Amino acid sequence: MWIRLRQIAVVTSDLHKSATDIGTVLGVEACFTDPGVKQFGLKNMLWPIGTQFLEVVTPIAEGTAGGRYIERRGGDSGYMVITQVDDVARRRERAAELGIRIAFDLSHPGDHDGIQLHPGDTGGSFFEMDQMTMEGGDAEGGPWYPAGRNWEPYVRTDAVEGITAAELQSPEPEALAKRWADMAEIDLGSDADGNPAFELDNATLRFVEATDGRGEGLGGIDVKVADRDAVLAGAKARDCYVSDDEVAVAGLRVYLT
């Protein structure tokens, strides 16, 4: 079995501001708006980062899960870790073995089959596993149904080239890491800084102590940088600069690697 990090989702109260920040800081171009998320009371936009994606969702109705998540975490926040897998049927079996609820079944016959695991059971954030069932769907960097059918022309890699890690935070990072490693069926190890971590096929998931007062959640990502000066200039222009190694967009820490 394999599992790849394919998309990171954040939830924000101001889609226009977040979109401007993302485009200016990361030098990426929006590729898709999915009308299907309206059923959840949301509106979204996606940007390709190489062959991976950053998604922003924003509530457009009262009482949405996204709106409650913003309230719970005290503002814009990382929301979902979205992966691509080769056998979603096995992932469903594993969730059942661990007693983890499926929050939503994602089924589009001929294109896409996936599951969103319930954040109340996973901890940290939504953990989504998607299988592309169309022709060529298993190819690395291949079709990705959540981004539509024509995302490739919008890829811009002058500034950033890919997402190399996601960082989840918790008051108990070791316990959260073990839970996620169990769900992914991957041995838990540690990164160079001693944080509990495990390796997907194309990225690292690491788990750190929550120190920002926002509790458990998806706190950050690492991006592979092609033009650091351009990213930092954009960050300063949009008031997103943290340091020469970190910028902040849509409630997400973005570490420049």
CATH number of the domain that 187 lies in? 3.10.180.10
Whether residue 169 sits in one domain with residue 142: no
Instruction: Reply yes or no on whether the pLDDT at 124 is more than 80.
Output: no
Using the predicted structure, report yes or no on whether residue 213 has a pLDDT greater than 90. Answer: yes
pLDDT in tens, 187-202: 999 999 999 999 999 9
Instruction: Based on the fold, state whether residues 148 and 177 are members of the same structural domain.
Output: no
Q: Tell me: do 147 and 171 sit in the same domain.
A: no
Please tell me the distance from the alpha carbon of residue 17 to that of residue 200, in angstroms, as a whole number.
31
The last residue of a domain, from among 112, 129, 154: 154
Range of the domain at 35: 3-154
- pLDDT band at 233; cut points 50, 70, 90: very high
Same domain, 149 and 164: no
Residues 23 and 146 in one domain: yes
230 confidence band (pLDDT: 50, 70, 90): very high
In what order do the strands lie in the sheet containing 112-117?
42-49, 52-59, 3-11, 77-85, 126-132, 112-117, 102-108
Please determine, for residue 152, whether its predicted confidence score (pLDDT) is greater than 80.
Answer: yes
168 lies in the same domain as 144: no
Residue ending a domain, among 154, 186, 211, is 154
- Split into its structural domains, the chain has a count of 2
Do 211 and 128 lie in one domain? The reply is no
- Reported pTM: 0.97
Sheet holding 217-225, edge to edge: 189-190, 196-199, 204-209, 160-170, 217-225, 252-256, 246-249, 241-243
